[in-house]
Amino acid sequence: MNCRVVVEAAVPVYDVETPDEAVRIAISKTGEMLNPDLNYVEINMGERSCPHCGEEQEPAFIAADESLVALELEMTVFNVERDEHAARIARKEIGQRLDNIPLEVVEIEEIAEEGEAEEEEESEESADEVPVETSTVDEVTDDADIGEERARDDDILPEFEELIDE
């Protein structure tokens, strides 16, 4: 099974004045740490909300020209057994390159493989079309005629053993 795993990272940024500047620097800093080894990891702004009222907030918290930026790092993990296995792999791969940056798994989504998706579509289509087989007296006699033709063909064509002997 393949999974898409989203991990939230808290990236510290120094000497910033605005939340937009902090986010840009955090994305750049994270990209430098991940590349070139993990260039397939997508980096997005994180979503923060007030725990009491649910109001949306900036992804960066600034105090004394220092910021803590919430980023979402998304990667696809292939050939895993369970969701927990995918989460451990993603945290390990990303965490090895992001020193001293806390990570938390936000979302794990199973991705249907291309072969499985095609098989499911085909099985749904074949389930809709159920062939009904009926036999009539004419078909039974036709089957007997076919058997006679096969017997004649066997007389014309030499047996496999005869061909080997020659």
C-alpha–C-alpha distance, residues 42 and 60, integer Å: 18
pLDDT at 16: 93
Tokens of 86: 């995918």
C-alpha–C-alpha distance, residues 13 and 130, integer Å: 63
Tokens of 56: 């949306």
Per DSSP, the three-state class of 106 is strand
Q: pLDDT tens digit string along 67-115?
A: 999 999 999 999 998 899 999 999 999 999 998 899 999 999 998 876 5
C-alpha–C-alpha distance, residues 100 and 12, integer Å: 10
> Which amino acid appears at position 33 of this protein?
M
pLDDT at 134: 45
Task: Tell me what the pLDDT averaged over the chain comes to.
Answer: 79
Q: Write down all domains in the chain, each with its CATH number in brackets.
A: 2-113 (3.30.70)
pLDDT at 58: 85
pTM of the model: 0.65
DSSP 158: P
